[in-house]
Amino acid sequence: MIKITGTTHQTFTFPASVATASDFYRDFSRILHYLPHIYLIKTYGPDQHRVMYHTLELGLYRVRLYCDLQVKYDEATQTLQVAPLPNKPPVKPGATVHSLTAQGYFTSQSVFQPRDDHSLVDYRLSLEAQLPKPFALMLMPDKVIEQIASNITDWRIHEIAGGFIKRSVQEYREQTAAAAGEGVAIRAARTEVCHTVAGPRTRLAR
């Protein structure tokens, strides 16, 4: 088996208060769509899910890692934690000529801190797994394969985190802009209705 790991630590600014930011990111079914290469497989219960990490590496191998996870938010520390969900049967590892499948362990931590009218988010993300050795690399030493595979996974984790930050912040900005536009349209419509109901006043001839 080949052990792979990938980690990243990034900080970003979210254009809203800590209360708004934490509420936005606590909805895992929503934020999942902002994570490149991560797909929802099933939901076990509230804040408990199985997801799949799926990538095509070296233009040849499809890597599928199934991760069981749970989402928790600590109000006291303003920390959102995604951690492995225990007591779930792991996926059986397998390898074909062009694919690798195994159980993975996905974790993330987001710490929200107030910054004026914005939030500073300290974001950490990691992925670990034990993969079966690819058939085409049986003659290569395990340590060499692990180094190459971990470098690839580390790059992918940076890609996932960067895409997640960009997509989620952009989505929030678009939602708030749309809500503001709807508010302006509603106020304009109400004003028009008031003018129509009132109508022009007719002066009586004396």
Sign of CA dihedral 105, 149, 37, 179: positive
Q: Taking the domains of the chain in order of start, what are their residue ranges?
A: 2-197
Q: What is the pLDDT of residues 25-34, one digit of tens each?
A: 998 888 899 9
Between 169 and 197, the higher pLDDT residue: 169
Over residues 145-181, the pLDDT tens digits come to 778 888 889 999 999 999 999 999 999 999 999 888 7
Beta strands in the chain (DSSP E): 2-14, 38-45, 48-57, 61-74, 79-84, 94-95, 99-115, 118-131
pLDDT value for 149 = 83
Q: Is residue 206 over pLDDT 70? A: no
pLDDT in tens, 89-147: 999 999 888 889 999 999 999 999 999 889 999 999 999 999 887 766 666 667 777 78
Question: pLDDT digits over 41-97, tens only?
Answer: 999 999 999 999 999 987 888 999 999 999 999 999 999 999 999 999 999 999 888
On whether the CB atoms of residues 16 and 161 are closer than 8 A, the answer is: no
- From 3.40.50.720, 3.30.530.20, 3.40.50.300, 1.20.1440.230, which CATH number describes the 2-197 domain? 3.30.530.20
Q: Cα separation of 149 and 58, whole Å?
A: 10
Q: When comparing pLDDT for 2 and 56, which is higher? A: 56
* CA–CA distance, 119 with 13 (Å, rounded to integer): 6
Q: Alpha-carbon distance 192 to 201, whole Å?
A: 16
pLDDT of residue 205: 47
Report the 3 state secondary structure along 90-129: CCCCEECCCEEEEEEEEEEEEEEEEECCEEEEEEEEEEEE
- Reported as a single tens digit per residue, the pLDDT across 11-27 is 999 999 999 999 999 98
The pLDDT value recorded for residue 10 is 97
Is the pTM value of this prediction over 0.85? no
Query: Could you give the CA distance from residue 161 to residue 126 in angstroms, rounded to a whole number?
Result: 10
The confidence score (pLDDT) of residue 76 equals 95
Q: Are 73 and 80 in contact (CB under 8 A)?
A: yes
